[in-house]
Chains A and B, each alone.
Chain A
Amino acid sequence: MGKELPKNNYIYFDYAATTPVDQRVLLAMEPYWYKVYGNPSSLHLKGREAKVVLDDCRRLVADFLNAKERNVYFTAGGTESDNLALLGYLKNFDEPKRIVISDIEHKAVVRVAEHLEREGWKVERCPVDLNGLIDEEQLEKLIDEDTVLVSIIYANNEIGVVQDIAKLSKIIKDKNAKTVFHTDACQATNFLNMNVEDLGVDLLSFSASKIYGPKGVGVLYANDNLKLGPMIWGGGQEKGMRSGTENIPGIVGMCEAIKIVEKIKDAENRRLFLLREKLISGILNTIDGVHINGDRKKCLPNIINISVEGVEGESMVLYLDEAGFGVSTGSACSVLDLKPSSVLLALGMSEELAHCSLRISLGRYSSEEGVDSFLEIFPKIVERIRKFSAV
């Protein structure tokens, strides 16, 4: 672990943004660009070859999720899966109804919900507590007989907070058995239980690009009882829900990535948990005025989100970049609309502290040496910026 990639002096701590492709994935994909290149819809030999591969891949993904092959839809990534989950299912309703989303959803859900609001749908937003955990009482209250869908992110991409999806599913179904439950599991895939039976979800999205697979491939799981309307029309692939020639190399790559995740999940959970704890205590021990954002226990082992008083996020990111570390921020200055992260504000954080946030996300090629050198440099950068900070 940590040795597969060529040594490079730049330390990437932004695995929540995306992951590099594992070399084993790259090797697995290779023949499917030019040897097994057929279109699975073709009747001839090349088409049949590709069809066999596609079926094998669908079985592998189904097994990974403890689902049936017919429940697995291949998409072009996490965002498309989220869009298809919400818009595809809601096509069943002629009249706008109600949906509930959490206050800390990914933009791929938030923006769809806002679009639905403009179309006349009622969108309720379920609050979270100061640590980012769903307010279960509020969730229960927000669901009524008109609530047709609830979407709650499994592990949040900014703060890494992990929701008890199985428990939330029970709360939802006890209140209204007909309410469909979707979870965005893009950040969860590397580390958490993806068994849809255990989770009690009807729809689940994930993406290859967060699990050391290729970009542009994802999965939507939809249970048997759901009818989904198409988002993309054409040749009728994926049971008509998602037309377009299947991305066989990408799908093969994603399947290889899943195999690796299954093999190393437990070991990576333990290894990264220790690195995360080391980073957090190292930062708290050397820098004053640091806040840890999100629940410290119910959290992914790889995401650390902090706010550093008086130090604006973009400045930290760019000074760290210059020092050879890739991290990210929820500060307004990192995005086009100049508003700080809505996820951080949902925790009840002040806008000032949201501007001072930094996300460090570890991954497969993160090493203890990398963490050590980060801990050596980061306090110096904070001290430097604080010298000329006006707050």
Chain B
Amino acid sequence: MSNIDVKGNKQNWMYSDIVKDHFFNPRNIVEKDSPNWVYNGMGEVGSPACGDVMKIWILVEDNRIKKCGWKTFGCASAIASTSILSEMIIGMEIERAEKIGPGDIVEKLGGLPDNKIHCSVLGDQALRKAIINFKEEYA
């Protein structure tokens, strides 16, 4: 008991260090309503009432995802999972990107609390919608 360190606010964070890093330093975010770069696929999932909304924009060139940007309304794991997903897919062939499932994202994040897994499920769904959008409207 005497070893409990109550000095800082760094103790026993509920998420992994990877989640924490992506939550506080999210990668590839879109700051305005839409990207300031050319994209050819966009997907959106979730609803504000459920507490999670994710939007993903992609630029596909030569069958590969060249660029990816996103916006997320949600908790730490929702934000971190979209952020890490955006890193995972840049440079990836769309056939592989389509196959990414929630488990892949959770694994990359170094795990998530059980009740938070539903959040990351949304990231891959938004991505698949963006790829469908690309195929239907741009390809």
Contacts and interface: CB of A to CB of B under 8 A. Distances in A.
A389 B72 contact: yes
Interface residues of B, number: 32
B32 to A, nearest CB: 9
Interface in A345-365: 350-352, 355
Contacts, number: 76
A140 interface: no
Contact of B50 (A314, A318, A319, A351): A351
Contact of B76 (A314, A340, A387, A390): A314
A187 B74 CA distance: 30
A334 to B, nearest CB: 8
Contacts of B70: 388
Contacts of A388: 26, 29-31, 70-72, 79
A336 B9 CA distance: 23
Interface string B25-44: 01001110000000000001
Binding site of B, secondary structure by majority: helix, strand, loop or mixed? mixed
A194 B91 CA distance: 66
A312 interface: yes
A391 B116 CA distance: 20
Given A318-B23, A322-B24, A355-B48, A389 B73 contact: yes
Contacts of B72: 388-390
19 contacts: A312-B73, A312-B74, A312-B75, A314-B75, A315-B74, A315-B75, A318-B76, A321-B9, A324-B9, A332-B51, A336-B115, A351-B50, A352-B49, A352-B51, A355-B49, A388-B70, A389-B71, A390-B72, A391-B73
Interface of B: 7-9, 23-24, 26, 29-31, 44, 46, 48-51, 53-55, 70-79, 115-116, 118-119
